[in-house]
Amino acid sequence: MPSSKDIRRRIKSINSTKKITRAVEMISAAKMRRAVASVLGIRPYAHSAWSVLTNLATAFENYGGGFLEVREAKNILIVAVSSDRGQCGSFNTQIAKKLRDEILNPEKLKINRIGKKKIESSVANEDLKIDFITVGKKGEGIVRKLKKEIIATFPELTPGINIESIKPLSRIVIEEYLAKRYDKVVVVYTDYVSAVSQQTRIRQILPISKIDIEKQIAEIDVLAKEYGLDEPKADYKVEPSPKEVLEFIFPRLIEMQLFHAILESSASEQSARMIAMRNATDAANEMSADLTLAYNQIRQSKITQEIAEISAGRAALE
């Protein structure tokens, strides 16, 4: 049985750790609120941008550019969004699980589609080439363990992220796809549902799918009334031509989708860290209470023993 001195030392150590976890929890809560505000802040822009594309629906039919080209998926590029730091519960573990599942069972990943048009790859699973762009230091380590090639990595991108900081990432994605080095580009990220719930998702970025755009608009439409954006569709006069307008809009759309995915992941990361630190603080409180009880029992036992010895000595003197 540990001595009272050992127990006191452990209680002191646990209380010190508890102060750290409590501080990290409070910092994560503040960062989460800012990240959630950023996610909510981009939704009006996202709604408007996707609505513009929907209003240009007729232009989609005549657009022959590479952004909508559906090819047999032989080479796939995955943008994996993770965290730079740990202590965020199962946040990175879920990303690793999702990536491992997609690599080991790539049947859905091999399907390339744009709207109703769908091409299933004839390439065997073992011959399918899957490369990565990682966002976050933890993602790089995950992909290294999967023994896959990383063509670019973006550590420390999340803190202070803005649309300008996304441009190097989106430029690589667009250039690699238009050069036909990859037939499909997807992003794996964590979607922020609530402070206690996050969901790992995979979303096709390229080729751009009109049905995916309409689906995303429908999701955002649920929140559109909050921002007064539930407006009727407008008839646009497109100049100089629909194709030139789409050539300008599509790269912005890629930037926005990547920006949105990273913002969602940032909010999810801070939420997961806040919950993990709260659980650690609660566990420290329980452990400290148990050790304090054990310490008091030992102390009480010693006092009882000393009283008994004094009583016995007095009785012997009488």
User: How are strands ordered across the β-sheet holding 184-194?
Assistant: 150-154, 129-135, 75-81, 184-194, 197-206
Element (H, E) at 6: helix 4-55
Specify the amino acid at residue 110. Answer: K
| 55's tokens | 């209003």
Question: Reduced to 3 states, what is the DSSP secondary structure of residue 133?
Answer: strand
**CB within 8 Å of 123: residues ≥ 6 apart:** 72, 73, 74, 110
Instruction: Please name every residue paired with 134 in a beta bridge, in sequence order, or none if there are none.
Output: 80, 153
Query: By C-alpha distance, which of 239, 291, 224, 302 is closest to 2?
Result: 291
Q: Which CATH number does 26-275 carry?
A: 3.40.1380.10
- Domain spans of the chain? 26-275
Distance of alpha carbon 127 from alpha carbon 97, whole angstroms? 21
**Please, what is the end-to-end C-alpha distance for the chain in angstroms?**
36
The backbone torsions φ and ψ at residue 157, rounded to the nearest 5 degrees and listed phi first, read -85, -30
126, 105 contact by CB (below 8 A):
no
- pLDDT (tens, 9 = 90+) of the chain, 318 residues, equals 677 778 788 888 888 888 888 888 888 888 888 877 877 777 677 666 666 666 665 555 566 567 777 788 888 999 999 988 888 888 888 888 988 888 888 877 777 666 556 677 777 777 788 899 999 888 888 899 988 899 999 987 776 778 888 899 999 999 999 998 998 899 999 888 777 788 888 888 888 776 666 666 666 556 555 555 555 555 667 677 777 777 888 888 888 888 888 888 888 888 888 888 888 888 888 888 888 888 888 888 888 877 777 777 766 766
